[in-house]
Each structure stands twice: as structure tokens, then as C-alpha cells.
Structure 1
Amino acid sequence: MARFNHKYHSSSTKLVFLTSCAGLLGAALIADFLWTSSYSSAGSAYLSVASNWALEKSGIIAVPNATAKTDDKREDVKGRKERTPERFLSATFADLPAPELQWEEMPPAPVPRLDGASIQIKNLLYVFAGYRTLDYVHSHVDIYNFTSNTWGGRFDMPKEMGHSHLGVVTDGRYIYVVSGQYGPQCRGPTSHTFVLDTETKKWRSMPPLPAPRYSPATQLWRGRLHVMGGSKENRHTPGLEHWSIAVKDGKVLEKQWRTEVPIPRGGPHRACVVANDKLFIIGGQEGDFMAKPGSPIFKCSRRHEVVYGDVYMLDDEMKWKVLPPMPKPNSHIECAWVIVNNSIIITGGTTEKHPVNKRMILVGEVFQFHLDSQTWSVIGKLPFRVKTALAGFWDGWLYFTSGQRDRGPDNPQPRKVIGDMWRTKLSL
């Protein structure tokens, strides 16, 4: 028994000793872990705050890495493995903060159209041409009545007229239609010009431009029809040329176009506005898709594009003045503007391409340019991002229709060509 007690006591002592050592070792490990965690958490918190501050100051935002195809439910496994959780991108590619607007959906246009054109005369919005798909273009005009909120009065365009990327402007009765792309895909521009009498629905041809232009900036100013910029015959090379011709009541008063002071920066898809007897050129881009070499159908092939937010004004001395740029680079806005309460309102567009996947990024903001102060503000959001929207304003309502909308709230890339019509009440 005594021997048994001795063994038991010896074993017990060893067990206590080992347990104590293990306890001390565990306590040390736990303390070390807690200290490390505490230091790591504090360091991470500090780095997070510092990084956020630095990013805020530098205009950089963190966004998900959008490399997967969102229009395919099956995600690419290899791409998913190679993706990083997020990338830091310029704030240019994100939606700008803006108040929410209450949008109301109206009767859609008879056909969807992309890169069409529009002109408002009183309570009527004339909507021209445009792509339905890359392989099909429209060659007619639809009319929307803002008073009855109905579509009607469809009629055809001349067979020689361009089918997209037109330059259009009105004097209140006559609509002047200049140049544009003839045919689907990425065919080249035409030099043909026409005038429409909206009361008789009859067309007349006018002297052709000195050279074909794709999506030129077009306006009536001081008795002359001005045509500027756009892209040259290959659709890609920016044109700086500026021509004008005297017109009155739908008739051309001169035999040929006159050369004017070139614009500071060429390119297509820009807004061209006359307000307070000044001529404004807003936004646009340099470069565009071109026809694939040797393609019998002129299949579109991507080329490098630079989108900008430059604003220029032609003054009394026929000199271009540089004004404050848009809040973000913006293109595809040639018919997306209206004039309201001494300001220019612009809806949607496209901004610089995504720097990683090079996809086009659509714009979902509504911008206001104050003509008195020559300053910009963001006054609201569209119901979705959209490019080449066709805008109108009537009885306090801002309308837009057609264009190409985004893939969803979290994906600003273009997808569906639409004919939707929306409106919101503006209180400026």
C-alpha cells in the first residue's frame, strides 16, 4: 500500500508539473496571439482610415473586378480563380453622387433605335433613323406628341439619306439633316444634306458637304447652318473642319459651303447647342469603331477611343473660348440635351472605357450647365444608364427615349437597344 501511495504521489507530482508547464506555455501563446491580433487590428484600422482618406483625396474608388461575363449565367471558373476581390479605379468610371428623381414610364417608341437623332418643335418630338441592330437600320421618322403622350405620324426619309449618326437642327418649322452614316454595321458617312418641311412632310436636297462627315456637330446660328467636327470617312479620324452655309425658311441662300474657324478638338458624338446667341460644343470623343479591313459587310471592328468632357463656346469675334469641362468625360450626347431655365440639361451618355477590360461604360446622371455662371452640377439620376438618348422638354417634364441601356444597376456596360420613353418633373 505504501509503495502504491508512493507511486501514485510520484505520478501525481509529474502530472501536476507537466500540466503547469502546459498551462504556462498555453498562456504565453494566448497572450502572444492576443497581442499580435490587437496590433494587427489596430494597424489594419489605421491603414484602412489612412487609405480611405488618401483615396478620397486622390479621387480613387474601390470597385469589384468585373471580368466575368454578366450576360452568361455560367461563370468562367478560371477567370473566377484569377480574379482579385477588388481593384482601385479612377472615380471617372463610377456614378457620381446625385439626387434621386421620380421617373414615370411612358408609351415606348414604335421601334427601338440606337444612334438615331431627334428634334423637338413645340409639343412634337421628331425621331429619326438609327440602328435596330448592327445589321438593320431604320429609314423613317416617328413622332411623339407631348400633349397627348402618344406616338404617330410615321413617314419615310429620302433613300439617299444617312441612317444613323446624323447632324440635325431646326428653325421651328424646317429640320435640316446633315451627313451621317449610310447603311448598317460600320459603313462610312455620306455628304448628302436635306431639309424637311414639317408642315407638308416634304423633303428637299441641299448642297452636299465639302466632305463626308460621321456624327458632326450641327447648329443654326445667326442665319447660317454650321457643321463642325465629327469623324472623317474612315469613322475614326477626328475632323477639325468647320463649314457654314446661309439658310432661311428651308432654303439655301448660297451655292457652296463657307470655311469657318476650325474647332479646337475634333470628333463625333457631342452636343451642339445655341443659347443666348452663343454657340456651344460639349463633350464628345476622338476615334470610333471602324470597318474591319476586307469585310464585305463592313463589319465593325473596335478601335481606341478617347472620351472627353471639353466645352467650347464661339464668341462674337468668331473665336473659340474654353469653358469649364463637364463633371465627367461624356460622349454620345448629340441629341440628349434640352434648354431649361437658362441652362443646358444633358441626359446620359458614355464615359471613358474601363481601364482593365476596356469595355464601354455608360452614364446614368443628368447634368446641368448654368449659362449665367458657366458652371456644372449633377441634378439627378436616370432610371438606368443609357447612351444616345433622345431628349425633350415640355410643360415642366424632362423626357428621354431610345438608345442603348446598361446591363443592370451593378454593370454599366451597354447591352439592350431600347425604345422606352420616360419622363420626370424638373424643378430647377
Structure 2
Amino acid sequence: MGRVTSVVVGKHKSSKLALLCVALLGLAFLLDLFWASSNSPPSIYQSFISPKKIVFLPFSSNNTQPQKEGKKKDGKKRFLSDTFADLDGPELNWEKMAGAPVPRLDGAAIQIKDQLFVFAGYGTIDFVHSHVDIYNFTDNTWGGRFDMPKEMAHSHLGMVTDGRYIYVVTGQYGPQCRGPTARTFVLDTVTKQWRDMPPLPVPRYAPATQLWRGRLHVMGGSRENRHTPGVEHWSIAVKDGFFLEKEWRSEIPIPRGGPHRACVVYNDRLYVIGGQEGDFQAKPGSPIFKCSRRNEVVFGDVYMLDDDMKWKSLPPMPKPDSHIEFAWAIVNNSIVIVGGTTEKHPETKKMILNGEIFHFNFDTLKWSVIGKLPYRVKTTLVGFRDGWLYFTSGQRDKGPDDPGPRKVIGEMWRTKLKL
């Protein structure tokens, strides 16, 4: 009996030892997960928090697939695609003009003749503007401020003009990462009067918006959760500031959805340029809808809709570019696009701003870099008048050696542009 008892006791000790080992392994796994999550990068929508400095080396033209060199913590070399660095381009002479009355991020702008109407936008992540400022290119002054409708979105707007009336479609209502609205408005820029128009079938953030062949077209953007790309495409007949139909009509979906892209019409063709898939979302349970980071994919895709009402892919941008919905101007037979954001840094995962002026010739379908900005900037607002290219507002970089976003600005700059 004593021998049997000792065997049983030995088995119990072995079982306890095995269970202890399993528990220790589990604890180590949990500690590893906790360390990884605690070292994840902060939200880029915390616009005024400075991440670690990132140094980007100059563009090298010796490689067919250009790369830049850096060092890991262990001293070994690493190579990163120049997608994440500045592209070569000519230096331009920039002149600083009178700054906007307020700084704004994710605002909107429409140029009509010698006036630039600048709408809404974040002042800070916790404060949004609800008014319009006007810049006069003739005398280079700001003035004529007036209020927006109380029900109108404050950022991520879809917007286009027919030369007098400005159509404003959907967008985000409120600061942080609040929800979108489906409301639609029309502004008479002569009388400064607003009208309420039929809402979009569903709310959207930053949809591509244009007037084409007598219809107001609204495409893509982000869906109601602010993150999921929308590919839906609607249109409605409009004329002289009035909607001629009671309901929106479904059109051919856009090949790739998402917000923050340029949308233009040239020579009776509709173009959608750049953008991204994914965006920040409200943190679950947050009473202020605090922005929470989500994965984003920035792209440089270019699509054209023609007489066949079929989307065609055109040569992509020199590098991925987003946050450019009001950062463009048509100049002669070309479009110029100012700044924006590209793919996040592959190691730090920080947002990287663009400091180039991209040029696309509609006749040759070729892209080029025609200039560098005074600094990198996203969601800037662009105008072009009498050979001068202007930009104002947005969020600029931390400095020449750090392309991460920092300060929301209201500065106005211009340069003489010859194409």
C-alpha cells in the first residue's frame, strides 16, 4: 500500500509541474501582447501631439526602383521605398499673402471668378467652424464672412459650383469623429442665400462630387461608420440652383471607393483622382466621439467616366495621394494637385504629408512633378487666378526633416505658375 501511495503522489507532483509550466507560458504571452499594444503609435487625429522625429533621405535617381537608406536600432542598414520620401521637383518662388481669418482643417473651397469661398473645417479636433470666409484675388484681401445653415455639415463635405450656385452635399456634422449627415444645400453666391435640397439617399463622408451633363454626381466617400469605403454613385438633375428631380438616381458604382479624392470635369469627361480606403472612427462608447485610429490605404488611382458610361483606369499619380478634394485647379489642358498625404511610414506607422505639386496633362495622360511647396501640407484649399497658384489652410508638417502632421494653418501663399 505504501508503494502505491508514493506512485500516486509522484503523478500528482508531475501534473502540478506541467500545469505550472503552461501557466507561465500563458502569462508570458499575455505580457507580450500588452507590451505590443502599449507601444502602438498614437492617433494622427490627435493633430497637435508630436510623434518621434522621422528623417527622410534625398531621392536617388541611380536605381530603377528608387529607395532611401536608413538604420535600424541594431545598426544594420534598411531600405524603404521613396513612396515615403519627397519626390524631386523644381523649387518655386513663393510669396506669403494675407492669412485666412481662422485656421481650418478638412474644410472646403470653391473658386468663382476672382473669389475663393472657404467653408467650415476643424479649428481644432474639438472645435469646428460653421461659417464661410471669402478671399478676393483682385485685391488679395479676406472679407464677406457669413454663416452656414445650422444643419449643414462642418467637414468632409462634397461640393461643386456651376459658376454662381454652390451645391453642398452631406459630410460630417460636429468635431472629433462624429457621424455624417445626408443633408444637401445650395448657396446662391450673389445673394448669399441658402436653400435646403433633397438629401442624399444615405450619409457619406467626403464623397467625390461634380456637375456633369446637367446632373450633380456624388460618388464614393466613406460610409456611415466613417471607415468603410463606399462605392455607390448617385446623380440628380439640377439647373440654376434648383433640383429638377425629387429623388437621386443610382449610377454605375465607382471601381474603388473611399474619401479624400479630387474629382474634376474636363472636355466632357469625369475624372476621379487619388484618395484612400479607411479612416478614423469614433471610439466605442466615447461620449465625445473621440477619434480612434484605424488602418488606411492611400492610393493614386485615376478613373475616367466617358460616353459609354464605363469607368476606365488611367495612369496613376507619381505616388499615392489623399486629402486632396479641394487641393486642385484646372490650368489650360491640365490639372495641378497641391500636397496631400501618402502611405504611412512602414515602420513608425505615422502619417506622411506630401510637399509636391503634381501635374496631369489631359491630352497626353502623363503625370509630372512641377514644383515644391514651402512645406508639406494636407487638405489645403487651392485657387488659380491670372497665372498665380494660391493655397491656404490645411495641416502642415513638423519641419523640413519631419513630414508628419502638426499645425493647423490659415496661411495663404502664391506662386507664379507657367504651364
Residue identity matched to 2:391: F
Cα distance change, pair 83–186 in 1 and its aligned pair in 2 (3 A): farther
**Residue 147 in structure 1 maps to residue 154 in structure 2:** no
**Residue 313 in structure 1 maps to residue 304 in structure 2:** yes
**Residue 119 in structure 1 maps to residue 110 in structure 2:** yes
Structure 2 residue corresponding to 1:251, chosen from 242, 247, 254: 242
Residue identity matched to 1:374: L
**Moved segments of 4+, more than 3 Å:** 52-55, 82-87
Q: Aligned-pair RMSD on alpha carbons?
A: 1.4
Aligned length: 361
Cα distance change, pair 232–427 in 1 and its aligned pair in 2 (3 A): same
Instruction: Please say if residues 55 and 61 of structure 1, whose CA atoms lie closer than 8 Å, have aligned partners that are also in contact.
Output: no
SS in structure 2 of the partner of residue 283 of structure 1: strand
Q: Share of identical aligned residues, percent?
A: 76
Structure 1 residue corresponding to 2:282, chosen from 288, 291, 297: 291
Superposed CA offset, 1:168-195 (max 9, x none): 1000000000000000000111100000
Counterpart Cα distance in 1 of 2:350 and 2:60:
29
Counterpart Cα distance in 2 of 1:366 and 1:272:
17
Question: What is the aligned partner in structure 2 of residue 362 from structure 1?
Answer: 353
Residue identity matched to 2:396: R
Superposed CA offset, 1:64-95 (max 9, x none): 67xxxxxxxxxxxxxxxx47476311110010
Which structure would you say has the larger RCO, counting Cα contacts within 8 Å and 6 or more residues apart?
2
Matches within 5 A, 1:118-267: 118-267=109-258
Residue identity matched to 2:214: G
Q: Which structure carries more helix by proportion?
A: 1
Question: What is the aligned partner in structure 1 of residue 66 from structure 2?
Answer: 59
Structure 2 residue corresponding to 1:394, chosen from 373, 385, 388: 385
Counterpart Cα distance in 1 of 2:403 and 2:135:
28
Structure 1 residue corresponding to 2:268, chosen from 277, 282, 291: 277
- Per the normalisation by structure 1, the TM-score is 0.83
Counterpart Cα distance in 1 of 2:409 and 2:367:
28
Counterpart Cα distance in 1 of 2:395 and 2:93:
21
Cα distance change, pair 101–164 in 1 and its aligned pair in 2 (3 A): same
Counterpart Cα distance in 1 of 2:138 and 2:64:
48
More moved, 307-316 vs 82-91? 82-91
Cα distance change, pair 279–53 in 1 and its aligned pair in 2 (3 A): closer
Unaligned segments of structure 1, at least 5 residues: 1-51, 66-81
Counterpart Cα distance in 1 of 2:293 and 2:84:
20
**Higher alpha-carbon Rg:** 1
Cα distance change, pair 316–131 in 1 and its aligned pair in 2 (3 A): same
Question: What is the aligned partner in structure 2 of residue 7 from structure 1?
Answer: none
Deviation at 1:59, TM superposition (A): 2.3
Deviation at 1:279, TM superposition (A): 0.3
SS in structure 1 of the partner of residue 150 of structure 2: coil
Deviation at 1:60, TM superposition (A): 1.7
Unaligned segments of structure 2, at least 5 residues: 1-58
Deviation at 1:61, TM superposition (A): 1.4
Structure 2 residue corresponding to 1:348, chosen from 330, 333, 339: 339
Instruction: Please say if residues 348 and 365 of structure 1, whose CA atoms lie closer than 8 Å, have aligned partners that are also in contact.
Output: yes
SS in structure 2 of the partner of residue 92 of structure 1: helix
Counterpart Cα distance in 1 of 2:380 and 2:190:
25
Cα distance change, pair 83–357 in 1 and its aligned pair in 2 (3 A): farther
Counterpart Cα distance in 1 of 2:119 and 2:408:
15
Instruction: Please say if residues 167 and 218 of structure 1, whose CA atoms lie closer than 8 Å, have aligned partners that are also in contact.
Output: yes
- Per the normalisation by structure 2, the TM-score is 0.85
Residue identity matched to 1:188: G
Residue identity matched to 2:386: D
Counterpart Cα distance in 1 of 2:275 and 2:378:
12
SS in structure 2 of the partner of residue 114 of structure 1: coil
Counterpart Cα distance in 2 of 1:197 and 1:229:
26
Counterpart Cα distance in 2 of 1:183 and 1:336:
22
Instruction: Please say if residues 60 and 68 of structure 2, whose CA atoms lie closer than 8 Å, have aligned partners that are also in contact.
Output: no
Counterpart Cα distance in 2 of 1:54 and 1:203:
53
**Residue 335 in structure 1 maps to residue 326 in structure 2:** yes
Question: What is the aligned partner in structure 1 of residue 409 from structure 2?
Answer: 418
Counterpart Cα distance in 2 of 1:173 and 1:63:
52
Counterpart Cα distance in 2 of 1:241 and 1:123:
34
